[in-house]
């Protein structure tokens, strides 16, 4: 699923193409499949969780109803994967930097080394029950 070259790692172009060709999910099973495949590459996509949130909400019981928000999220995830960052491979003799950002709804982070991203992380917070 990854292409590793000297000093960097990128998504496998064949897998990216599979995501690009994924049709609009008309069933819950198809949506889960899309989110599993796109989620495999979440470390390459800044703010993945926030972008995917409208689709993730559709996974709740009796919530699957395709909407303009879901369509936008679906398209944005595809585009984010096409323009995904090539990540640097870590050099464990060099210093790491973690940059974070948070709001009341989500948080995100990027692990950097010498100004190059090594991985992205994002998570949507669960609402209070």
**Domains, the chain:** 2-124 (3.30.70.270)
Given this model, what pLDDT does residue 129 score?
A: 40
Question: Residue 44: which pLDDT band, with cuts at 50, 70 and 90?
Answer: very high
Mean pLDDT computed over 45-73: 92
CB of 10 closer than 8 Å to CB of 84: yes
Mean pLDDT computed over 77-89: 90
Given this model, what pLDDT does residue 73 score?
A: 96
| Mean pLDDT over each residue of the chain, to the nearest integer | 91
Q: Which residue has the higher pLDDT, 104 or 93?
A: 93
Confidence (pTM): 0.83
Smallest CA-to-CA distance from 56 within 25, 11, 20, 102 is with: 25
C-alpha to C-alpha distance for 108 and 129, rounded to whole angstroms? 23
Look up residue 53 and give its two tokens. Answer: 């949130």
Extended strands (E) in the chain? 2-5, 8-11, 87-88, 97-102, 106-113, 116-124
Given this model, what pLDDT does residue 128 score?
A: 54
């Amino acid at each position: 699923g990854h292409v590793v070259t000297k000093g960097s790692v990128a998504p496998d172009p064949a897998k990216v193409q599979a995501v690009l060709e994924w049709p609009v999910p008309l069933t819950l099973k198809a949506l889960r499949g899309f989110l599993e495949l796109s989620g495999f590459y979440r470390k390459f996509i800044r703010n993945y969780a926030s972008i995917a949130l409208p689709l993730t909400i559709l996974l709740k019981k009796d919530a699957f109803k395709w909407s303009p928000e879901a369509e936008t999220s679906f398209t944005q995830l595809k585009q984010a994967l096409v323009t995904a960052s090539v990540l640097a491979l870590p050099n464990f003799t060099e210093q790491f930097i973690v940059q974070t950002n948070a709001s009341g709804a989500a948080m995100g982070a990027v692990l950097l080394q010498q100004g190059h991203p090594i991985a992205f992380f994002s998570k949507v917070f669960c609402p209070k029950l």
